[in-house]
């Protein structure tokens, strides 16, 4: 297969580091195709601040299926919360390598900075990630290249190593100074970008993993509402505003129960069971009762009463009406809160 040596694939996050890394290569008259890898835990598309400075095509590749396969038991473990950062970077470089082959490019660009992130960007991790991806010799990290072993693209003089940089550590002063020098003014503030690094979301995610369930519908529900475990196998999601209520309705499946008050403004609540067989009898009634009381807690009530009527629907029909439901106390609600 004929390869265009002056063509590269760049991992593009939309952040300043990836913008600068790509600019260093573009300034050497090398064609660059950007790629943004999407998972259920990232934004649907990257910030496009850098596009006006780079003027390159940016592809969006959904790697959700491969990512989720690794999430139950990542080879290199989790970060501070439930973020499998090392395994994620390996996967991204593998996918970038596949894209490199399809596009007949000769190397991969990454905006990683040595020492910027403790788990994935120390020298040992950077080199190990490169090696395990299977594309190590093709990965160029322009911002820290002078602190790392020479890559094939540098050895073959495809890129000029003397134009690479030696940035190291968590400070962004040098990147900001370079951006100013190059006239790059618009770029996002640094942020993780992955919801698995967020403490509250990670707690919900860990609970979902414990239930042995990992499909995108469940993951999308993690992003909205208040979450309550009514049993190990029963979870209630309560909308916090009209926008979340609409999302919850859109994500409801045929076997879910939906709770709301017809007379009082308030949440849509979704009750989902994580069991193989249909729940019936007293056990189901007890769970529906608690779900109703939690839903009532977040309804707007009249001044002279704390009681609310709650409708419970399933498959677009009312299956139960709870009359004059009293709210659970905040102390009891906190016991169920995930």
Q: What does the DSSP assignment read for 225-289? A: SEEEEEETTEEEEE-SSHHHHHHHHHH--TT-EEEE-SSS----EEEEE--SS---HHHHHHHHH
d(CA 29, CA 315): 59
Domain boundaries, the chain: 7-181, 224-336
Examine the pLDDT at 303 and tell me if it is beyond 80: no
Examine the pLDDT at 192 and tell me if it is beyond 70: no
Instruction: Give 127-150 pLDDT, tens digit per residue.
Output: 999 999 999 999 999 999 999 999
Closest CA to 164 of 177, 180, 176, 153: 153
- In the chain, DSSP finds a helix count (H) and a strand count (E) of 12, 11
Contact 29, 128 (CB under 8 A): no
d(CA 32, CA 275): 49
Q: Within 10 A of 171 (CB to CB), how many other CB atoms are there?
A: 12
d(CA 294, CA 292): 5
Per-residue model confidence (pLDDT) at position 294:
98
Per-residue model confidence (pLDDT) at position 277:
82
Contact 93, 139 (CB under 8 A): yes
| CATH entry, 7-181, from 3.40.50.10860, 2.60.120.260, 3.40.50.150, 3.40.50.620 | 3.40.50.620
Which of these ranges, 99-103, 248-252, 304-308, has the smallest mean pLDDT?
Answer: 304-308
Per-residue model confidence (pLDDT) at position 108:
99
Instruction: Give 61-89 pLDDT, tens digit per residue.
Output: 999 999 999 888 899 999 989 999 999 99
d(CA 34, CA 22): 8
**The pTM is what?**
0.90
Examine the pLDDT at 118 and tell me if it is beyond 90: no
Rg (Cα) of the chain, in Å, rounded? 25
Helix (H) or strand (E) holding 335: helix 330-336
């Amino acid at each position: 297969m004929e390869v265009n040596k002056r063509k590269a694939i760049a991992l593009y996050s939309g952040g300043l580091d990836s913008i600068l890394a790509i600019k260093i290569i573009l300034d050497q008259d090398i064609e660059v195709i950007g790629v943004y890898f999407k998972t259920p835990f990232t934004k649907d598309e990257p910030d496009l601040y850098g596009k006006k400075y780079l003027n390159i095509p940016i592809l969006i590749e959904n790697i959700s299926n491969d990512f989720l396969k690794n999430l139950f038991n990542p080879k290199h473990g989790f970060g501070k919360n439930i973020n499998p950062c090392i395994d994620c970077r390996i996967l991204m470089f593998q996918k970038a390598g596949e894209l490199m082959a399809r596009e007949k490019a000769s190397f991969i660009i990454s905006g990683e900075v040595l020492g910027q992130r403790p788990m994935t960007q120390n020298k040992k991790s950077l080199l190990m990630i490169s090696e395990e991806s299977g594309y190590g010799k093709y990965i160029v990290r322009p911002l820290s290249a002078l602190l790392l072993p020479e890559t094939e693209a540098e050895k073959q003089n495809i890129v000029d190593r003397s134009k690479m940089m030696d940035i190291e550590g968590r400070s962004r002063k040098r990147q900001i100074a370079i951006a100013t020098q190059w006239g790059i003014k618009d770029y996002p503030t640094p942020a993780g970008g992955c919801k698995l690094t967020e403490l509250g979301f990670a707690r919900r995610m860990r609970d979902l993993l414990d239930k042995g369930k990992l499909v995108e519908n469940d993951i999308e529900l993690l992003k909205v509402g208040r979450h309550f475990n009514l049993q190990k196998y029963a979870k209630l999601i309560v909308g916090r505003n009209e926008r979340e209520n609409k999302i919850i309705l859109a994500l409801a499946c045929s076997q879910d129960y939906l709770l709301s008050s017809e007379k009082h403004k308030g949440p849509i609540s979704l009750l989902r069971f994580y069991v193989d067989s249909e729940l019936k009898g007293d056990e189901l009634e007890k769970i529906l009762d608690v779900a109703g009381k939690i839903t009532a807690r977040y309804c707007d009530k009249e001044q002279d009463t704390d009681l609310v009527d709650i409708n419970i629907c399933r498959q677009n029909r009312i299956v139960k009406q709870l009359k004059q439901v009293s709210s659970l106390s905040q102390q009891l609600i906190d016991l169920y809160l995930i």
